[in-house]
Amino acid sequence: MEEYLYKTENYKLVGLCMEIHRILGSGLLEVVYKDALEYELQLNKIPYSREKEYSVYYKGKLLPHQFYADFVVYDNIVVEVKALNEITKEHIAQTINYIKLARGKLGIIINFGAAELQHK
């Protein structure tokens, strides 16, 4: 069985997302799932930031555009919410970059768009 970093927190987050998917199903806009996840995080007293802003530097220069993590939970888990047919390699690469920029330890991609909840 695959071992997860922050196993307890990871399972809790995925469980909340399964509950959201069970109730709302697939086919809604991403923002609806984000709103539902925010509600569940509040309800379960899980510390989080939504749309947390991070600056991006290139060769020591601050770039004019920022990166916004969908959620950062437990201070170091980046959660990227999707509402698509499937999670792609591009989504994985994007999330890895977000983890680096946020100096986080773990990233979770949650896809509510498929018939069954997907997470990586």
**pLDDT tens-digit series, residues 80-111:** 999 999 999 999 999 998 898 888 889 999 99
Position 76 scores a pLDDT of: 87
CA-to-CA separations, 5 to 2, 73, 106, 108, in angstroms, rounded: 10, 14, 7, 11
Question: Is CATH 3.90.320.10 the classification given to domain 7-119?
Answer: yes
What is the C-alpha to C-alpha distance for residues 83 and 65, in angstroms, rounded to an integer?
24
Q: What type of residue is 62?
A: L
**pLDDT tens-digit series, residues 10-27:** 999 999 999 999 999 999
Single pTM value for the model: 0.90
**pLDDT tens-digit series, residues 18-69:** 999 999 999 999 999 999 999 999 999 999 999 999 999 999 999 999 989 9
